[in-house]
Amino acid sequence: MELLPAIEMDSPNGAAVNASIIWLHGLGADGSDFAPLVPQLSLPDIFGVRFIFPHAPSIPVSINNGFVMPAWYDIKEMDIDRHVDEEQLQQSAAAVHALIDREIERGVDSSRIIVAGFSQGGAVSFEAGLTYPKPLAGIMALSTYFATADSIKINPIQSGMPILVCHGSMDPVVAEALGKKSLATLKNLGFEPEYNSYPMEHSLCPQQIVDIADWIGRTLS
């Protein structure tokens, strides 16, 4: 499989890379969307994190009148259950698997690889992280929903995986009810995710960045 194009940012000060975070953007954005957050996280050099921000392919999106834009999958309806193209979502998850494989080939142990995603990217991060055949460090799901909850085939090797779910209480794009539904689904599946809610819309806020850095630090320690 041809690898997705991506922005890469290695740990500053020449620290040896020993962990990777693959971070997926949301609908209509690209890999540059979250790259500016890396310095704000202020992660210690000892973690040696390589950040990878892939770009989604451009495809027609039904909810936007078929307009072609960067998207991990098509969204057919914007109702509470989000009718999505699961085959396209699974293809995007397979593309993330290929990026994970490449990180392992570059010397990063799978148990030190985090899959993160915002909105659409978060839905792909659930599918990609929970189905990967080697143990991963964790999943970070931001302002998102568990689109494949009813069809996913979770790999038992991911049992006990750390998962961080964050959502805005005033999100007009992906209602917080969907974040809480993801939380409940994960608990029913035997996971113990952390959940943080913030007084914000469909975005990130300063306290969330602090909490993300704390979770990454605990997860990679």
Residues 6+ apart with CB under 8 A from 40: 209
Spatial contact of 117 and 141, defined as CB atoms under 8 Å apart: yes
Q: Is 55 a catalytic residue?
A: no
Q: How far apart are CA 208 and CA 47, in angstroms?
A: 20
Spatial contact of 220 and 112, defined as CB atoms under 8 Å apart: yes
Which region, left, alpha or beta, applies to residue 138 given φ > 0 means left and ψ of -120 to 50 means alpha? left
In the numeric block, which tokens belong to residue 64? 């936007």
Q: How far apart are CA 117 and CA 25, in angstroms?
A: 6
Catalytic option among 101, 197, 202, 203: 202
Q: Is 202 a catalytic residue?
A: yes
Q: Is 214 a catalytic residue?
A: no
Q: How far apart are CA 133 and CA 154, in angstroms?
A: 9
Catalytic option among 30, 74, 85, 171: 171
For the stretch 63-70, contacts whose Cβ atoms lie closer than 8 Å and that sit 24 or more positions apart, written own/partner, are 69/27, 69/28, 70/25, 70/27, 70/28, 70/29, 70/30
Catalytic option among 11, 20, 119, 143: 119
In the numeric block, which tokens belong to residue 55? 């770009």
Quick check: helix, strand or coil at residue 198?
Answer: strand
What is the set of active-site residues?
119, 171, 202
